[in-house]
Amino acid sequence: MNANFFLVLIMAFALAGCATTPPPLKGSPDLLGFLSDGKTTRTQAIMTLGQPSGAFEAQRILTYRLGFEPRNSGYYVVEREAVGSGWPTWTAAKFSLVLVFDDAGILRKHSLVEVNQ
């Protein structure tokens, strides 16, 4: 009786490891699909991606940190994170999205830089 009980317990314990569900997909493959040089506005970019992690030259250049979900080749925005010394880390972000706008706030060019390989 005791042996059977322990056997069932061990089986249940072993199977429990197989029953865990994978974490939900975080990224969206078409997150950056709206970006179009010469058309997309700064407002559209901020409405879609949220507040940028960096802004330079009077917000002419905006940068976003993007994580990458390999299971669906999706991107997702991550916040700037820093270690105790104040230096940012790139553990969660794999890409840096750089958006350059003209004086009228229209996207002039953009680049997706693989920062963390």
Partner 1 sequence: MFRCGWRLALLLALAYCLTGCLIIPTPHADSGYARTNIGQHTPEQFVPGRTTREDIIVALGEPDAVSRDERQLAYRFEKVIALWIVAAASQGAGGVAGGTIYKNHFYVFEFDPLGRFQTAKQTGQLSMVQGTHEPLLNPAALSFGSSNGVAVAVSRGGYWLPDVDGFRSKGAKFTIGEPGELMLTESNLVFTTESQFASAEPNLKLPLASIVGVYVDKYLFLRRLVVHTDTGTVHSFEILQPNSIGGVWQDKPAMQAACDFIQSKIKPTQPEK
Q: Which residues bind partner 1 (CB under 8 A)?
A: 41-43, 53-61, 63-65, 83-91, 95-96, 98, 100, 103-106, 109, 111, 113-117
Shortest distance in whole angstroms from residue 15 CB to partner 1 = 34
Closer by beta carbon to partner 1, 27 or else 64: 64
Closer by beta carbon to partner 1, 17 or else 38: 38
Closer by beta carbon to partner 1, 73 or else 111: 111
Kindly state the tokens that stand for 35: 């970006």
